[in-house]
Structure 1
Amino acid sequence: MFDRVWTGAHLCTMDGPPEDPLGIVEDGAIAAKDGRIAWIGRRRDLPGRAAQATECHGAWILPGLVDCHTHLVFAGDRAAEFEQRLAGASYEAIARAGGGILSTVRATRAAGEDALLREAEPRLVGLMAEGVTTVEIKSGYGLSLEAELAQLRVARRLAAEHPVEVATTLLAAHAVPPEFAGRRAEYARHVAEEILPAAAASGLADAVDAFCERIAFTPEETEMVFEAARAAGLPVKLHADQLSDGGGAALAARHGALSADHLEYANPEGLAAMARAGSVAVLLPGAFHFLREERRPDIGAMRAAGLRMAVATDLNPGSSPALSLLLMLNLACTLFRLTVAEALLGVTRHAAAALGLSDRGRLAPGLRCDLALYRIGRPAELCYWMGGNPCTGRVLAGRG
């Protein structure tokens, strides 16, 4: 006997052949046992019974959505900088003048963990309401040993207090803190030798990220951090080629990164290297839109290389104050010209791969029973509507 079944639903399994990548099953059913999918197929073929049955009345079921790139835990906002950019100031100019990331660092350091938790909760709950069941949360607004660990502790608390899976990423190599002004390489060494080992030893970090860019860290400094991550047994990710072609995509590939994210300026050779390495390209259309960038990621080169593409909010106060993953689906299609199938795979199967999570992102026997239910007429509506939320239910490990 199954623990639970959902019947009368149309399914987007994200597990189909190239001609049907969404793997659609009409008038389908899903059965769960011990938190995992035990059976999936057409309703008429459903074997056995279940302790609990839910009739879905024609709803569409997708794997629970995965937001694979967020900076969700922070204090304050940067609305004043938004006004400055509207008046003509660039993102780089604001950062070099002491604004940008460092302004959020000051606010985050001043806030206690309880305050950070209270500010983060509404952001997380909003994502969950859209069908998100797994979310990545980065640090990077502490930039000191204790403040970075505090952000990661808050991320763990969010997972403990809400029905959602949280993957944590140490992003101490996000910017140079004020106390290391003019000593960027020394701070990168501090991250590699002090902050990263402490985060690994505490069990607070699931992965390590770095910002490799002309306003952040050089490839050589990034590699120092990545070597320390390897020594600690942690996988790596990379903010790469957002503002310039710094060879970030190729660097990520050399280190077997789970993903490289942004990639507006990445060259085709670097993208092909990522594909060969098995890395995922995480597209962040919210930042592209909010910063009014003009250089789009080379989607054609990604397709040609067979590079998996994920889509995420990049939820952060400075460059992507995006509270909706569903809106990112629309922006990925309209701004980056993704197809509906590419966008939906980008917030399910490929987003899970960007976090190294092979047990979710698809509807298939043996995987976690993480589901998102939507009252829509066809899957394209999730990419089509701008605003609104058609999510009518969310299931986490067979519960919900």
Structure 2
Amino acid sequence: MSSCSDTLWINARLATCDAANPAPYGALLDHALWLRDGHIHAILPQQQAQAEFAARGTVIDARGAWITPGFIDCHTHLVYGGNRAAEWEKRLNGVPYQQIAAEGGGILSTVRATRRLDEDELALASLPRLKALMKEGVTTVEIKSGYGLTLADELKQLRAAKRLAAALPVEVATTLLAAHALPPEFAGDADAYIDHVCEVILPAAAQEGLAEAVDVFCEGVGFSVAQSRRVFAAAHAHGLRCKGHVEQLSNLHGAALVAECGGLSADHIEYLDQDGVAALAAAGTVAVLLPGAYYFLRETRQPPVAALRAAGVTMAVASDLNPGTSPFASIRLAMNQACVLFGLTPEEALYGTTRAAAAALGRGHSHGRLAAGMVADLLLWDIEHPAEIVYGLGTNPLAQRVFRGVIQHID
């Protein structure tokens, strides 16, 4: 099938995930999906669509499958070197994290492993993780830096992410997370490192077009609100959007800062308070839930889902794929965890990985819904009800993955 020809999908059940459709899942039955040039040209009642389509192009029988928008994983760290399985085993055997870090473990062990790889090696090491996400239906993925912490290594991570996008049928949104941890070269002087991020790393990433957003780990073990504000100001000066790792381990009011700065998303937010909820609601900033890290770290403080829901805050769900706290290349696992651990409904989880995740990446106008004019990233599911996508793990009911209107097969 050519992406530049017209294609009509018939005999499908559509879960449009479109807020304009009040039906559960935005469902449309007896409708056909008309694709043209990699976009959705129209959604029409099936008989009308077949009459208007005539012999314009290819007709594909979905044979009763449910069609959803392609999944969007809006928070990952999937480009990195090494792994931390041995460190995880130590933690399970009772070794304190402080001791592990003192012995060279923790995030800086991933930094060392990532720095040792060149760009080719880094992309190759990351390829299986990205393919795993794609096999579950991910068509757009955010990839952060943050394991280089030098100019050369942060740019290397972002270039490796861009290389993956060029090699596979997937859209990649790159985010600069140089303010992820304090590198050993700046030990004891976080302000000097933030100067380096704002004056050297961030401008270089912007000049090369390697990042579209900037993230900060605003936390007691990361960077302060004042330091985060400086990074966001530098991001704005270079035309980049902002987002934040905030309120994961404590409440520093980082989410309110993200909202104040017009940020795309506030991520983690287990310790978010009511003022933070109100700030996100007022700014239209997306709350990104990351249940994989909550599960893997055996946390007990849940994000305030009921308060977010009541305030009308858009809630996205993402894998947080990373080697230290969420080593899961599975968007469906994240959706299931969001329901079981955080109390989302299956419908909210599906919206969280489609239209809400699109908004978290600044793509709400083009991705995440089945509607005329949207990018034709589609998933066909061999299921009887959309809740099955979230319900059962271990098997994969994904029948077809369509990227930009073209059926794709992932090896």
The question of 1:377 aligning with 2:380 is answered: no
**Superposed counterparts of 1:1-400, under 5 Å:** 3-17=6-20, 19-46=22-49, 47-49=52-54, 50-89=56-95, 94-95=100-101, 98-357=104-363, 358-400=365-407
| Alignment gaps of 5+ in structure 2 | none
**Matched residues in 1 for 2:38 and 2:74: separation?**
22
C-alpha spacing 1:27/1:18, structure 2 compared with 1 (3 Å): closer
Give secondary structure in 1 for the equivalent of 2:406.
Answer: coil
**Matched residues in 2 for 1:95 and 1:206: separation?**
32
Kept in 2: contact 1:27–1:58 (CA 8 A): no
**Matched residues in 2 for 1:255 and 1:345: separation?**
25
1:259-294, CA deviations, whole angstroms, 9 ceiling, x for partnerless residues? 010000011111110111111000000000000000
**Matched residues in 2 for 1:250 and 1:16: separation?**
26
Shift of 1:343: 0.5
Kept in 1: contact 2:8–2:53 (CA 8 A): no
Letter in 2 for 1:231: A
Letter in 2 for 1:395: V
Letter in 1 for 2:381: Y
Shift of 1:87: 2.2
**Matched residues in 2 for 1:191 and 1:96: separation?**
25
- Superposition RMSD in Å: 1.5
Shift of 1:137: 0.4
Shift of 1:126: 1.0
Kept in 2: contact 1:6–1:56 (CA 8 A): yes
C-alpha spacing 1:96/1:348, structure 2 compared with 1 (3 Å): farther
Shift of 1:236: 0.5
Kept in 2: contact 1:25–1:42 (CA 8 A): no
Give secondary structure in 2 for the equivalent of 1:71.
Answer: coil
Letter in 2 for 1:70: T
Identity %: 56
1:354-399, CA deviations, whole angstroms, 9 ceiling, x for partnerless residues? 0001201000001111101111110000111022211111111112
1:97-134, CA deviations, whole angstroms, 9 ceiling, x for partnerless residues? 64211110000000111111111111111111111110
**Matched residues in 1 for 2:387 and 2:228: separation?**
39
Shift of 1:28: 2.8
C-alpha spacing 1:239/1:97, structure 2 compared with 1 (3 Å): farther
Kept in 2: contact 1:91–1:291 (CA 8 A): no
Kept in 1: contact 2:129–2:329 (CA 8 A): yes
1:53-111, CA deviations, whole angstroms, 9 ceiling, x for partnerless residues? 11111111101110000001001100011112212345566446642111100000001
Give secondary structure in 2 for the equivalent of 1:22.
Answer: helix
Kept in 2: contact 1:131–1:373 (CA 8 A): no
